């Protein structure tokens, strides 16, 4: 398939929608906003996010929440959608997951940036970017180095097949999806930030 992945394209039918009976975990910045808009959760008590239920929206929860969910409900499949920055906070816990035998699938939207922070700098600081871009990181390779399953996706047409392979691996699994870094600011971003940042002085 032509073209790079964007978060909105990812949720077309081939995308990382939660399997119907899975526990779904959402983490990250813009990635999490997109997932809250577009992902589907089909069962009660099958959704975990640090941004709901009065929590503070702290990132880095995907992997630890996944391990906890799998221990609590071993009969359920566990499926995460996370930004790359959030994933990097706790990716070392893949080793824990491998050791404990708690398989899950973690789809990492790799846009090589803290894109929510970048969106804020676009909106409030006239696109003067500071400290928001990363170098190229191979998250699938990091997963494999810890004995987990890891696969990289550059072509959106390959996504379904790679997610299926990850689910079938029976291991903690990372699907590292290259996402267009220019295509990620969610609709209504400014409204959301005005709610979240009420009272903050955003003048440069």
Ligand X SMILES: Cc1ncc(C[n+]2csc(CCOP(=O)(O)OP(=O)(O)O)c2C)c(N)n1
Binding site for Mg ion (CB under 5 A): 83-85, 111, 115
If one asks whether residue 60 binds ligand X (CB under 6 A), the answer comes out as yes
Beta-sheet pairing, 23-27 with 47-49: parallel
If one asks whether residue 185 binds ligand X (CB under 6 A), the answer comes out as no
If one asks whether residue 61 binds ligand X (CB under 6 A), the answer comes out as no
If one asks whether residue 49 binds ligand X (CB under 6 A), the answer comes out as no
If one asks whether residue 57 binds ligand X (CB under 6 A), the answer comes out as yes
Q: Which residues contact 10 (CB under 8 A, 6 or more apart)?
A: 16, 34, 109, 156, 159, 177, 179
Q: Of 120, 97, 111, 110, nearest to 173 (Cα)?
A: 97
Cα of 70 vs its chain's centroid, Å: 18
The owner of tokens 């089909």 is: 42
Give 100's Cβ-side CA count (13 Å radius). 19
List the one residue from 11, 66, 67, 84 that touches ligand X (CB under 6 A): 84
- Closest approach, Cβ 158 to ligand X, in A, equals 21
- Closest approach, Cβ 85 to Mg ion, in A, equals 5
**Closest residue to Mg ion in the complex (CB):** 83
Contact between 106 and 86 (Cβ < 8 Å): no
CB-wise, 138 or 165, nearer to ligand X? 138
List the one residue from 113, 158, 174, 186 that touches ligand X (CB under 6 A): 113
Provide the binding-site residues for ligand X, judged by CB under 6 A: 28-31, 57-60, 83-86, 109, 111, 113-117
């Amino acid at each position: 398939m032509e073209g790079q992945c964007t978060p909105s394209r990812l949720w077309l039918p081939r995308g990382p929608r939660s399997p119907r009976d899975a526990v779904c975990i959402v983490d990250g910045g813009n990635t999490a906003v997109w997932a809250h808009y577009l992902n589907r959760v089909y069962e009660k008590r099958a959704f975990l996010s640090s941004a709901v239920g009065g929590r503070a929206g702290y990132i880095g929860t995907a992997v630890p929440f996944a391990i906890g969910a799998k221990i609590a409900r071993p009969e359920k499949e566990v499926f995460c959608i996370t930004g790359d920055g959030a994933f990097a906070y706790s990716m070392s816990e893949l080793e824990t997951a491998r050791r404990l035998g708690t398989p899950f699938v973690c789809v990492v939207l790799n846009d090589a940036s803290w894109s929510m922070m970048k969106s804020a700098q676009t909106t409030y600081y006239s696109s003067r970017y500071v400290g928001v871009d990363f170098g190229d990181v191979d998250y699938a390779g990091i997963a494999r180095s810890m004995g987990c399953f890891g696969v990289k996706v550059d072509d959106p047409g390959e996504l379904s097949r790679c997610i299926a392979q990850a689910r079938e691996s029976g291991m903690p699994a990372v699907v590292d999806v290259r996402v267009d870094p220019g295509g990620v600011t969610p609709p209504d971003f400014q409204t959301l930030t005005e709610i979240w940042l009420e009272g903050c002085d955003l003048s440069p």
